[in-house]
Amino acid sequence: MNSSTPTAVPAALTTVAAPVEARLRSILEVERARWVAVDADLAAPLDVLTRFVLDGGKRLRPAFCHWAFVGAGGAPGHSGVIDAGAAFEMLHAFALIHDDVMDGSSTRRGESTVHVSFDADHQESDWSGEARRFGEGIAILVGDLAEVYADRLMSNAPTAAFEVWNELKIELNIGQFLDVLGAARGGVDLQTARRIVRYKSGKYTIERPLHVGAALAGRLDELEEPLSRYGEPLGEAFQLRDDILGTFGDSARTGKPVGDDLREGKPTPLLAIALERATTTQLRTLERIGCLDLSLDEILEIQSVFTDTGALADIELSISQLTVQAINTLEMIDITIEALQALEALAIYVGTRDL
């Protein structure tokens, strides 16, 4: 993870991103013009949402949705799958903006988080009330707006696709609750940590976008189980890589301060394994996880515990094994060769990415 060479982004991802981004830009331009005509102040939330959605993000969810759709016989460039991809990006914006409020994060993608930005606006303008509450309140509203746009984009989808969409939204909220609860309680067992991984991120990043794509092509009944055999292990690998990046990642690449997940006390499998194996002295070091005032030296000490206990090596091994497991299932999925090749390239990227 300390390599200076960024992980190559596969064409299977970049070719999907462009039409989805064009759709997002079109929607937000129309909405901005509509609401600024009502009140000029309404430019602010829409401008923030536009920057958040268009200036960052890997577009993984649209890519998995696209390749399941095309692989199942859907036409590339079909408006339904582009709308679904844009919906996933809007939903992801909603989740991240709210997540930053819940975690008290100050930075996202190298910029101030939405709530911190509006907090600063409040202070600079010397407005009434508490700046923090204003910033968090506006951020929640911006996130809610993104969710509404996401649902609107899915409104014309077939019933089967919309049912999957609603289920993944429930799963996302369930996983987020478990994550917040785990951080508050402190410490976590491996089984619970893996459950959080599955519901907070894994299913909604990979497995459910695949299901939506298959449903859009009218083949969900046939492909749901085979796609899950690929998507479930790869979804877990995705979040395990996120956990490593949140602890060891290069802030210049991740756009977040080093050790941010440690300050937030994230209940990760990485932490669960370290807690099981730590010596008394190492446990005292790990007890500092969740403290917002963690120093860089303390973060380095915690990183050393993760390395010395073998927790980091175990998680890296799990990522490799889960990625191979996912790739090995591809030969059992009845979709086009092009889609199978794309899903293999995406799996390799998910397991090795550095941001």
CA distance between the termini of the chain: 10
Q: Judging by DSSP bridges, how do beta strands 111-112 and 107-108 pair with one another?
A: antiparallel
In this prediction, residues 81-94 reach a mean pLDDT of 98
Q: Write out pLDDT tens, residues 47-75.
A: 999 999 999 889 999 999 999 999 999 99
Angle, helix 159-185 to helix 208-216, in steps of 10 degrees = 170
Residue 201: its pLDDT value, please?
Answer: 87
CB 109 within 8 A of CB 255: yes
| DSSP character string of 106-140 | -EETTEE-HHHHHHHHHHHHT-SS-HHHHHHHHHH
Range from 56-65, 252-261, 277-286, 306-315 carrying the lowest mean pLDDT: 252-261
Residue 5: its pLDDT value, please?
Answer: 65
Residue 40: its pLDDT value, please?
Answer: 98
pLDDT at residue 36 greater than cutoff 60: yes
Q: Write out pLDDT tens, residues 105-147.
A: 898 888 999 999 999 999 999 999 999 999 999 999 999 999 9
Q: Which two tokens stand for residue 247?
A: 């602890």
Mean pLDDT of the chain: 94
Q: What structural domains and CATH numbers belong to the chain?
A: 11-352 (1.10.600.10)
CB 323 within 8 A of CB 348: yes
Residue 14, C-beta contacts closer than 8 angstroms, at least 6 positions apart: none
Range from 1-15, 45-59, 224-238, 257-271 carrying the lowest mean pLDDT: 1-15
Residue 3: its pLDDT value, please?
Answer: 46
Q: Write out pLDDT tens, residues 307-355.
A: 999 999 999 999 999 999 999 999 999 999 999 999 999 999 999 998 8
In this prediction, residues 292-296 reach a mean pLDDT of 90
Q: How would residue 1 be classed by pLDDT, with cut points 50, 70 and 90? A: very low
C-alpha distances (whole Å) from 195 to each of 188, 202, 235, 322, 328 are 11, 10, 12, 15, 23
Residue 253: its pLDDT value, please?
Answer: 77
In this prediction, residues 212-237 reach a mean pLDDT of 98
Q: Determine what percent of the chain is predicted with pLDDT higher than 90.
A: 85
pLDDT at residue 2 greater than cutoff 50: no
